[in-house]
Amino acid sequence: MKKNVLITGCSTGIGKALALEFHSKGFQVFATARKMDSINDLKDLGMKVIEIDINSSESLKNAYHSLLTLTDRLEILVNNAGYAAMGPLVEMPKEELELQFRTNVLSQIEVIKAFLPLLRKEPSVVANISSVSGDLSTPFAGAYCATKSALSSLSDALRMELSPFKISVVDVRPGAIESGFGRTADNKLSAWLSPNSIYSKIEEAIKARATASQQNPTPTALFAKQLVRQLSSEHPRAVIRLGKGSRALMILGKWFPRKITDKILQKKFHLDRL
């Protein structure tokens, strides 16, 4: 029988690439997105599509019942849907902070809760897509870094708590992966960053942080191929790092004194010019 995999956030980028790669390897893919027209192409390829807004309890409940009409088991769940808002923390709108933490942290747990009954039917894998940004906070990405760090910490606890039920929890920490991430983050930043910002003199450095992950990134298809291979193994690693730069922040944060890392990052993002 084909193994079943459900992936959140399949409209673009990593989620879509993972759906295509799992499908090519013979999995029954349940591709999900908030906007169904964004995944019609995946449906045309033979994948099952389900509408999910991970920030809506009602949407998750409906998605679970939709999945029940199609299968009675789920071998892999990929928590990929996320949200990124970049910019100075002291000027970021409260709504942006709340949405980022709700989407990248709280709702990730809600997704697992929603599909837990099916995950318990067979030995299964939950893959939480975190980020290398969770290894070390950087200027103008503090909220995003914090959410990814929190997700990694939650993954550690979930790995132990769900182990008795033969559910493996994997913390995936991508580096720079080709996607629309930078463009989306930059557009959101431009929408609220005021010309009167106390950081206006280094606005270009702030925008550079928003698009940093798209400077010479790993192709999305290659990342998906590597990740699917690892998630398909009998015993996937607890932490998977893939893509260019996927270890750089970890090394910087672990082996360098904090005083030195602060100076390096302050200089990189021009905070020494204020």
Q: Which residues are catalytic?
A: 144, 148
- What whole-number distance in Å separates Cα of residue 122 and Cα of residue 76? 10
SS3 call for 63: helix
Q: Which pair of tokens denotes residue 77?
A: 């769940």
Q: Which pair of tokens denotes residue 42?
A: 């995946």
What are the backbone dihedrals phi and psi of residue 220, each rounded to the nearest 5 degrees, phi first? -60, -40
CB proximity list for 54: less than 8 A, separation 6 or greater? 8, 9, 60, 81, 103, 107, 108, 110, 111
Q: Which amino acid appears at position 42 of this protein?
A: L
Asked if residue 108 lies in contact with residue 149, where contact means CB atoms within 8 angstroms, the answer is no
CB proximity list for 66: less than 8 A, separation 6 or greater? 50, 51
- What whole-number distance in Å separates Cα of residue 79 and Cα of residue 58? 18
- What whole-number distance in Å separates Cα of residue 140 and Cα of residue 92? 10
What's the N-to-C CA distance of the chain in angstroms? 61
Strands 124-129 and 28-33, how do they pair? unpaired
Half-sphere exposure of 219 (CA within 13 A, CB side): 3
